Structure 1
Amino acid sequence: MLRAVSHLPANHGQGKPVDSITLAHDERRLRRKLLRAKGGLEVMVDFPQTITLDHHGALLLDDNRLIEIVAASEDLFEIRGKNPAHLVRLAWHIGNRHTSAQLEDKRILIKRDHVLKTMLEGLGARVTNVTEPFFAEHGAYHSHGEPGHALLAR
C-alpha cells in the first residue's frame, strides 16, 4: 500500500499527478485515513496532525508520485442578504448554530438544511440551491460542523 508523505498546496509546481482523489469538504480535513484514487490506487494518509487538503493540491507519495486532490461538488444553499450589514447579521445567526459556512463578499454558502433555510428566509435572506465545491471556514480550535458534534449541540 502506498503512503502519503506530505501534502502539497495548489500550484505546487512539483509535476503532473498520476491520479486524483475527489473529496467533499468534510473529507478533505483529515489526519489518518485510507483513500482510494479514481484509478484504484489505495493511499494511506497518516500525518502527525490534522490538515485540510487543498483543492488542486496533491499528496506526495512515498514513491515520489503525486495524487491530485479535487474538491467534490456538494448540494449547498447560497445565502444573499439585502446589503452587507444584513449579510453580516445572517452570518452571525449561522455561526450561532455552529454551522460550517463559506463566507464571501456577497454571499454565504452552507450545506443544505431545511430548518436553517426556513430560519434564514424568516430573517429576510434569499436562499437558493446551488451545487459546487464547498470551502467552509475552519474553527479556531475545531470544526463544530463535524458529524457527531451537531448531535451534542442539540
Structure 2
Amino acid sequence: MQRATSFKPAGSVADAPDGVVILPHDGRHLRRKLLHLDNGDMVMLDLKEPVLFHHGDRLLLDDGTTVEIQAAEERLFEIRARDTLHLIELAWHLGNRHLSAQIEADRILIQRDHVIRDMLVGLGAEVSDIVEPFQPVRGAYHSHGGHGSHGGHHEGRHGHG
C-alpha cells in the first residue's frame, strides 16, 4: 500500500494523477486516514498536521506518483438574491450562523437545512435544491499548507453581542 506524507495545491501539478479519491467537503479535513481510491487501490495519508483539502489538490505518494482529491457531489441549497447587495446581506446572515458556504458572484451554496431555508426565503431569497460538488470558503482558522493555522479554534455556535 502506498503512503502519502505531503501534498501540492490544485493546479500546481501538470501531469495526470495516478488515482482519484472523491470526498465530501466535511471529509476533506484530514491528517491521518486510509483513503479508498476510485480504482480500488488504497493509500495511507499520514500528514504532520490536519489540512483542509480543496478540489484538485494532489497527494504525493512515496513512489513519486500523485492522487487527486475531488469534491463529491452533495445535496445542497442554491441561494439566489434580488441583486448584489441582497446577496451580501444573505451571506452575512449565513456567516453569522457559522455555516459553511460556497460564495460565488451570483449565488451561494450551503448544505441543506430546512430551518435555514425558511429563514432565507423569509429574507426574500430564492432557494433551490441542487446536487453538485461543494467547495465552501475556507475559514480564517483553517490551514492549507501552513497558511493561517490556529489549531485551537472551536467552530461551535456562540452568541454575538
Aligned to 2:64, what secondary structure does the other structure show? coil
Letter in 2 for 1:5: T
- Who is 1:124 aligned against? 124
Percent of aligned positions that are identical = 51
- Who is 2:93 aligned against? 93
Q: How does 1:78-117 map to 2 (within 5 A)?
A: 78-117=78-117
Aligned to 1:153, what secondary structure does the other structure show? coil
- Who is 1:75 aligned against? 75
Deviation at residue 14 of structure 1 after TM alignment: 4.9
* Contact 2:77-2:111 at 8 Å conserved across structures: yes
* Contact 1:7-1:53 at 8 Å conserved across structures: no
* Contact 2:82-2:125 at 8 Å conserved across structures: yes
* Contact 2:76-2:109 at 8 Å conserved across structures: yes
Aligned equivalents of 2:74, 2:43: Cα separation in 1: 23
Aligned equivalents of 2:24, 2:76: Cα separation in 1: 12
Aligned equivalents of 2:6, 2:142: Cα separation in 1: 22
Letter in 1 for 2:62: D
Deviation track 1:79-114 (CA, whole Å, cap 9, x = no partner) reads 111111111111111111111001111111100111
* Contact 2:78-2:128 at 8 Å conserved across structures: yes
Letter in 2 for 1:153: R
- Who is 2:150 aligned against? none
CA root-mean-square deviation: 2.0
Deviation at residue 123 of structure 1 after TM alignment: 0.6
Number of equivalenced pairs: 148
Aligned to 1:137, what secondary structure does the other structure show? coil
Q: How does 1:1-154 map to 2 (within 5 A)?
A: 1-142=1-142, 153=157
Aligned equivalents of 1:89, 1:31: Cα separation in 2: 35
Aligned to 2:54, what secondary structure does the other structure show? coil
* Contact 1:17-1:65 at 8 Å conserved across structures: yes
The TM-score, its normalising length taken from structure 1, stands at 0.86
- Identify unmatched segments of 5+ residues in structure 1: 144-148
Letter in 2 for 1:70: Q
The TM-score, its normalising length taken from structure 2, stands at 0.83
* Segment drifting more, 116-125 vs 33-42: 33-42
Deviation at residue 28 of structure 1 after TM alignment: 1.5
Aligned to 1:51, what secondary structure does the other structure show? strand
